Amino acid sequence: MKKDIAAQEAKILKHLQSIQKHLGLSVEVTLVPDFDWEGIVACLKDNQTFDNKTGQVWERSLGYLSKNIEKLSKDEMSREAVVALWTTGQIRLIFCPDAREKLNWKASPSPKSWDERFVDGVLEITCIKPTLAEDQIGKWIESHL
């Protein structure tokens, strides 16, 4: 796990800097200090596709988030609303296999894989169904503005 995360560190930092640039945030975009890597690994370990790929999942997730924030920030009102809500610049990624129940979502044949919301100035992103090719992360931010 740590080796995979370390291998992706430069790309992860690049995505965080890109997000900050596109939004014009006055604070640095960072991971929350109490980031739960062990919880993420436990969730991904049950799926052979993602076992030992924690860094790759996180790097790609941030890459898609960066691209979707870039699109969102082209609209000045949306960009300003995100900046007003995201006061800490921190991201908390939660890999939660029971998120569907916690978020009171009904089972459906094609549920969304990610949920984003702002909580106390932190962007919380909950992964309900991990995937390496998920371009939806960040697309729902605008619905929370």
Dihedral sign from CA coordinates of 73, 115, 135, 9: positive
To the nearest whole percent, how much of the chain has pLDDT over 90?
30
**What is the Cα gyration radius of the chain?**
15
Supply the pTM of this predicted model. Answer: 0.76
Mean pLDDT along residues 60-82: 91
For the segment 79-113, what is each residue's pLDDT rounded down to a tens digit?
999 999 999 999 887 766 555 455 444 444 445 66
Q: How many separate domains does the chain show?
A: 1
Domain that holds residue 99: 2-144
Q: Does the pLDDT value for residue 59 go beyond 80?
A: yes
Cβ neighbours of 6 (radius 10 Å): 10
- Cα distance between residue 31 and residue 16, in whole Å: 9
Contact 116, 124 (CB under 8 A): yes
What's the pLDDT score for residue 22?
Answer: 93
